[in-house]
């Protein structure tokens, strides 16, 4: 889990500060919306939407009040959930790519006994490059 020390740069400003409090929020929000549309799992998609909406609401409040954001709250409500979502989406992509690349035998039937020696010889020759 991230704590404030893990998600701040050398100046103490969180990396998420730029899109939330400065330029680039629209691009960040659009990218999050793209992620939402790409995620097939409804729970993960809903979490991405919640994160984007929380960030939008926080930005609106900061703009209205013109005050420095409460960075611990940003970490708890946006940065940490975003990191969890990133890990879950990465794990899901890894699972899906493993499923696509799984080696599945073409023929699951055993070799008939009378051909087993010929098949064994074939694979030995094939393996030796002959």
Pairwise CA distance, residues 41 & 28, whole Å: 21
Number of H helices, E strands in the chain: 6, 0
For the chain, the domains span 4-102
* pLDDT tens for the chain, residues 1 to 130: 344 445 555 555 555 556 787 788 899 999 999 999 989 899 999 999 999 999 999 999 888 888 777 888 988 999 999 999 999 998 888 888 877 766 655 556 677 888 888 888 888 888 876 6
The tokens for 28 are: 């960040």
Pairwise CA distance, residues 122 & 130, whole Å: 10
Do the Cβ atoms of 36 and 85 come closer than 8 Å? Answer: no
> Tokens 């709250």 sit at which residue?
73
- The confidence score (pLDDT) of residue 20 equals 80
């Amino acid at each position: 889990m991230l704590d404030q020390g893990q998600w701040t740069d050398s100046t103490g400003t969180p990396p998420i500060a730029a899109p939330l409090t400065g330029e680039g929020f629209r691009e960040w929000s659009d990218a999050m919306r793209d992620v939402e549309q790409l995620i097939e799992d409804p729970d993960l998609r809903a979490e991405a939407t919640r994160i984007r909406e929380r960030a939008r609401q926080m930005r609106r409040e900061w703009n209205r009040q013109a005050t420095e954001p409460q960075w611990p709250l940003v970490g708890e409500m946006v940065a940490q959930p975003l990191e969890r979502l990133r890990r879950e989406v990465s794990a899901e992509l890894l699972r899906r790519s493993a499923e696509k690349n799984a080696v599945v035998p073409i023929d699951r039937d055993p070799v008939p006994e009378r051909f087993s020696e010929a098949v064994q010889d074939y694979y030995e020759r094939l393996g030796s490059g002959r």
